[in-house]
Structure 1
Amino acid sequence: MDRDALQLSREEMRSLGYRIVDLLVDHFADGERHSTGRSPGREELEDQLREALPEDGTDPHAVLDQVEQDVLPNTMRVDHPRFFGFVPSPNNFIGVLADALASGFNVFSGTWISGAAAAQVELVVIDWLRELCGLPDTAAGLFTSGGSMANVTGLAAARYAVLDDDTDGAVAYCSDQTHTSVDRALRLLGFSPDQLRRLPSDDQFRLDPTALTDAIAADRAEGRRPFCVIANAGTTNTGAVDPLPALADVTDAEDLWLHVDGAYGAPAVVCERGRERLTGLDRADSLTMDPHKWLFQPFEIGGVLVRDERHLRRAFRMGAEYLEDAVGEDDEVNFSGYGIQLTRSFRALKLWMTLKVFGRKHVAEAVRRGFERAEQAERLFRERPGWAVVTPAQMGILTFRCVPEGATEAEVDALNGRLAPAISEEGTAFVTKTTLDDRPVLRFCPINPRTTADDVRETVQALTDLARDHYSPGAPS
Structure 2
Amino acid sequence: MTLPGRTAETVSAPTGSPARAHLLHTGNLARYREALADGVDRVARRVATADRPFTGITPDALAPRVAGIDLDRPLGDAGAALDELEDVYLRDAVWFHHPRYLAHLNCPVVIPALLGEALLTAVNSSMDTWDQSAGATLVERHLIDWTATRIGFGADADGIFTSGGSQSNLQALLLAREEACLVAPAADARRDLLPRLRVLTSAVGHFSVQKSAKLLGLAPDAVVTVETDAQRRMVPAALRREITRLRAEGLVVMAVVATAGTTDFGSIDPLPELAAVTEAAGVWLHVDAAYGCGLLVSPTRRHLLDGVERADSVTVDYHKSFFQPVSSSALVVRDRRVLRHATYHADYLNPARMVEQRIPNQVDKSLQTTRRFDALKLWLTLRVMGPDAVGALFDEVVDRAAGAWELISEDPRFEVVTRSPLSTVVFRYLPTGRGRELADAANLYAREALAASGAALVAGTTVDGRHFLKFTLLNPETTLEDVGHVLELLAEHAGRYVRERTATDLACQVG
1:98-247 alignment, distance < 5 Å: 98-164=116-182, 166=190, 167-247=194-274
SS at match of 1:179: coil
Q: Report the equivalent of 1:3.
A: 18
The residue type equivalent to 2:162 in the other structure is: T
Deviation at 1:219, TM superposition (A): 1.3
Of 305, 312, 320, 2:346 maps to 320
Contact kept in structure 1, 2:55 and 2:453, CA below 8 Å: no
**When the two structures are superposed, what TM-score results if normalisation uses the length of structure 1?**
0.94
Aligned length: 475
**Could you tell me how far 1:75 is from its partner in structure 2?**
2.9
Where 2:213 maps in the other structure, the secondary structure is helix
Counting only pairs closer than 5 Å after superposition, residues 35-434 of structure 1 correspond to structure 2 as: 35-42=53-60, 44-55=62-73, 57-164=75-182, 166=190, 167-312=194-339, 314-324=340-350, 327=354, 331-434=358-461
Contact residue 399 and residue 444 of structure 1 kept, 8 A = yes
Secondary structure at the counterpart of residue 33 of structure 1: coil
Q: What is the Cα deviation at residue 385 of structure 1?
A: 2.2
Partner SS for 2:254:
strand
| Distance in 2 of aligned mates of 1:267 and 1:333 | 29
Output the CA distance in 1 between the equivalents of 2:410 and 2:49: 30
CA distance in 2, matches of 1:185, 1:72: 34
Asked if residue 474 in structure 1 is aligned to residue 489 in structure 2, the reply is: no
CA deviations over 1:365-384 (Å, ceiling 9, x no partner): 10001111111111211222
Q: For 1:346 and 1:17, locate their aligned partners in 2 and report how far apart those are by CA, in whole Å.
A: 19
Residue 487 of structure 2 aligns to a residue whose secondary structure is helix
Q: Deviations over 1:426-445 (max 9, x none)?
A: 22211011001111111111
* Contact 1:127 1:140 (C-alpha < 8 Å) held by counterparts: yes
Displacement of 1:156: 1.2
8 Å CA contact 1:376–1:456 kept in 2: the answer is: no
Paired residue type of 1:108 = S
Aligned partner of 2:430: which letter?
V
The aligned amino acid for 1:129 is: T
Per-residue CA distance 1:300-345 (angstroms, 9 max, x = gap):
1121111101001x11111121125692665442211112111111
Q: Which runs of 5+ in 1 are unaligned?
A: none
Q: 2:113 touches 2:377 (CA, 8 Å); kept in 1?
A: yes
Q: Percent identity?
A: 34
Following the alignment from structure 1 to structure 2, what is the Cα–Cα distance between the partners of residues 94 and 268?
20
Q: Which runs of 5+ in 2 are unaligned?
A: 1-12, 506-511
Q: Report if the CA contact (8 A) 2:53-2:96 is conserved.
A: no
Q: Deviations over 1:179-238 (max 9, x none)?
A: 111111121112122111122322222211112111111111111111210111111010
Deviation at 1:406, TM superposition (A): 1.5
Length-normalised TM-score, structure 2 = 0.88
Instruction: Name the structure 1 match of 2:10.
Output: none
Q: Using the TM superposition, give the Cα deviation of residue 360 of structure 1 relative to its aligned residue in structure 2, in angstroms.
A: 1.2
RMSD, aligned α-carbons: 2.2
Seen in structure 2, the aligned counterparts of structure 1 residues 369 and 331 have a Cα distance that, compared at 3 Å, is farther
Contact 2:408-2:415 at 8 Å conserved across structures = yes
| CA 1:129–1:3: 2 relative to 1, 3 Å | same
Which residue type is aligned with residue 438 of structure 1?
G
Amino acid corresponding to residue 317 of structure 2 in structure 1: D
Deviations 1:144-177 (A, max 9, x none): 1111111111111111223238424111101221
2:297 maps to amino acid: V
1:421 deviation in Å? 1.4
The one-letter code sitting in structure 2 at the alignment partner of 1:474 is T
Tell me, what secondary structure is at the counterpart of 1:323?
coil
Out of 148-157 and 274-283, give the one that drifted further: 274-283
Name the SS for the 2:264 alignment partner.
coil
